């Protein structure tokens, strides 16, 4: 017999999932920030549009490798970009 959840139980689950999503986004952002800092990329003056294009190229490169059967787990479906909701604020590296 299925357990019937109250609205407050559902709201609590939704809030936990939102927090989990937020933490995953932060961890991902920190991972890329560390790589950018380590490589010196974070210190370079690169327009946001150029950074977006570069990341799209990298994504295509690694996705094509996965399709060729690199033996790894299949990549999750690409999610559409959103309006920036849930992403960390951009911090200027100037100064």
**Quick one: what percent of the chain has pLDDT higher than 70?**
71
- pLDDT attached to residue 68: 83
Higher-pLDDT residue of 67 and 30 is 30
Q: How confident is the model at residue 91 (pLDDT cuts 50, 70, 90)?
A: very low
- Can you spell out the DSSP letters for 31-90? HHHHHHHHHTGGGS---HHHHHHHHHHHHHHHHHHHHTT-SSPPPPPPPPP-SSTTSPPP
Instruction: Evaluate whether residue 85 is within a structural domain.
Output: no
The parent domain of residue 31 ranges over: 8-66
In-domain check, residue 15: yes
| C-alpha Rg value of the chain to the nearest Å | 18
Task: Please state, rounded to an integer, the average pLDDT across all residues of the chain.
Answer: 80
Angstrom distance (rounded) from CA 60 to CA 54: 10
- The residues, ordered by sequence, that sit 6+ positions from 59 with a Cβ below 8 Å of its Cβ are 78
User: Considering the domain boundaries, does residue 73 fall inside one?
Assistant: no
Residues 6+ positions from 43 with CB-CB distance below 8 Å: 93
For 44-86, write each residue's pLDDT tens digit: 999 999 999 999 999 999 999 888 875 555 555 555 444 444 4
Count how many domains the chain has: 1
With respect to residue 18, please indicate whether it lies within any of the assigned structural domains.
yes
Is residue 3 one of the residues assigned to a domain? Answer: no
Give the residue, 25 or 94, on which the prediction is more confident: 25
């Amino acid at each position: 017999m299925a357990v019937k959840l109250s609205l407050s139980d559902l709201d609590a689950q939704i809030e936990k999932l939102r927090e989990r999503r937020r933490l995953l986004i932060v961890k991902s952002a920190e991972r890329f920030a560390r790589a950018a800092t380590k490589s010196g990329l974070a210190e370079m003056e690169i327009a946001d549009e150029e950074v977006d294009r570069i990341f799209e190229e990298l994504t295509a490169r690694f996705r094509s490798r996965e399709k060729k059967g690199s033996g790894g787990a299949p990549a999750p479906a690409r999610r559409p970009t959103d309006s920036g909701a849930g992403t960390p604020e951009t911090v200027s590296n100037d100064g």
